[in-house]
Amino acid sequence: MKITGETKVIGIFGYPVRHSLSPLMQNAALMDLGLNYIYLPFEVRPEQLETAIKGIRALGISGVNITIPHKEKVIPFLDEVTEEASLIGSVNTIENKNGKLIGHNTDSMGYIRSLREDGGFEPRGKNILVIGAGGAARGIIAGLSMNDVSVIFIANRTVEKGKALAEEFKNKFRQINFSALPLSSLKDPEILSQVDLVVNATSMGLEEGAPDVEFSLTPPHTLVSDIIYKPAVTPFLKKAQDAGRKTLGGLGMLVYQGAISLEIWTSQKAKVEVMRNSLTPFLAPCKS
């Protein structure tokens, strides 16, 4: 990569940010496209967020990704937020359009694209069980809702939080049947026998045990999805595979949301396989 006086800068704001895989895959995509851009990580402390956002304009940065803990808090500092980002209540991509900062959310689009292209799953008319009611769940539920699913069950440890989320989306998508459930429903044959897709939208499986779903009670065609991308086969997915169910890991969502962001900034379509392949060495299990 050759840096010149005309090189355009894009990047990612987060705290911490050194663990992010986005610079790897985005720079690989930029190099493949032959674009004179560089993608950099910027560690932005919460108290510095407003100043950092103003710096996008001041420095002529073409755009940035936004990651934890800034996705919700960044919204008041933007000039405009897309309908999808507003629905989700968070922004993961900022576009600098001639000094106007526009907030996008590509997470839900990335998830739906992964469902279709990697999972061979068409959401329209399907019954979905989403585990979790946090920010990731909101994005996934928004994406599924905008793609005309039939039923969304929201299972969460705190049922009241799940109910609040179900009610919020019910008011916006009246054609969809939303229900909030306790985690005990993950073993309920009446619920599980109806679902076409089960999504783990929590961080369970990273630092604690995976959600305990009785996958044998789901229909044989049910797809089981986990938003966690490392390991490629999480304990949640392993249990589903042992029950003979098809599974989908979180890497596709990571790659596709990044590809959509890149297209917003550059108007060029990235090769998702180039981005995916750039991450393979960093996601492979360590050799003992």
In a domain, residue 182? The reply is: yes
Place of tokens 């510095």: 48
Q: Is residue 192 predicted with pLDDT exceeding 70?
A: yes
Per residue in 161-184, pLDDT tens?
A: 999 999 999 999 999 999 999 999
Domain contains 3? no
CA atoms within 13 A of residue 96's CA, in its CB half-sphere? 18
Average confidence (pLDDT) over 144-169: 96
pTM of the model: 0.91
Whether 147 and 94 map to the same domain: the answer is no
Query: Per the domain annotation, does 243 fall within a domain?
Result: yes
Note whether 181 and 263 are same-domain residues. no
Residue 147: which residues within 8 A CB-CB, separation 6 or more? 112, 123, 124
DSSP notation for 135-147: HHHHHHHHHHHTT
Q: Are residues 102 and 126 in the same domain?
A: no
- At 285 the pLDDT is 60
Q: What are the residue numbers of the active site? A: 71
pLDDT value of residue 208: 61
Question: Which residue range forms the structural domain that includes residue 24?
Answer: 8-106+253-283
User: Nearest-CA neighbor of 98 among 61, 51, 123, 49?
Assistant: 61
Type of residue at 98: N
DSSP state of 268: -
Is the domain of 239 the same as that of 261? no
For the chain, what is the domain count?
2
- The band of 231, judged by pLDDT with boundaries at 50, 70 and 90, is confident
Q: What is the pLDDT of residues 36-60, one digit of tens each?
A: 999 999 999 999 999 999 999 999 9
